[in-house]
Amino acid sequence: MQVADDKVCLLDALPDAVRVMSDEDVESARGELLARVIVQPEGEWVSPVAEVFDPLAMGLLVMEGLLARHVRLGETRTTELVGPGDILRPPDLEGGEAKFPAGIEFTVLEDARLALLDRDVTAAVCHWQPVVTSIVTAAARRSFSLAELLALSHLRRVDARLIVLFWQLAYRFGRVGADGVSVPLRLTHETLGRVVGAQRPSVTTALNQLEAAGRLSRREGGGWLLHGEPPEDLGRVR
């Protein structure tokens, strides 16, 4: 982990806030909402950022990149994908640590830049209602995405889980083109399995089935291209 000397404006990761602010307010906010940058290259991220444990700090705002947040419960490990606009903050556990073997780990999948929302930056954020609302909205959106992941993990077919996941990722990271919707995320079969709750061999088989059915194809250089529309009948994905 590296704390860069430069600073970044939080508005760059919060377009929802900018859309409801006047040009004058945006200009003023850009001068106030500056935060130190944390640069994290691809790979395991094991070093905690001490400032985010401050109870008056919001935490870290992802500005660029893609991270995998792994939740470990005993020998089980599930994964959530975290990207620009997401807030990372340690959980507040009432009564101390969890009573069962659990933990949270991070892997940086694409070089990440994160803004450190320490107590001073948090105080500045509170002066701008659109920014507060945008951050709360992002947190709520992430909670909805997690609920959708929980729901899709209960689908019987692995190919159904994967196609729902890819369309969910398309809404957030995708780009529409003449050949379909591009999802430019380099995700291993193991990572996909942890996200949808399936073993890696099952993911490989399901991806091959979806590709053979014309539902998706692999992008040159990594990522996926979705074809057609999101499935309406998840019991008959192909």
pLDDT in tens, 11-38: 999 999 999 999 999 999 999 999 999 9
Whether the CB-CB separation of 225 and 166 falls below 8 Å is answered with no
Helix (H) or strand (E) holding 192: helix 189-196
Q: How many CB atoms lie within 10 A of CB 8?
A: 21
Q: What is the 8-class DSSP label of residue 52?
A: G
Tens of pLDDT, residues 97-114: 555 556 888 999 999 999
Whole-number pLDDT of residue 94? 44
Whole-number pLDDT of residue 132? 96
DSSP letter for each residue of 145-185: HHHHHHHHTT-S-HHHHHHHHHHHHHHHH-EEETTEEEE--
Please state the pTM of the whole predicted model. Answer: 0.85
* List of E strands, 46-169: 59-73, 76-82, 87-88, 102-117
Report residues of the chain scoring pLDDT below 70.
Answer: 1-5, 47-48, 91-102, 233-238
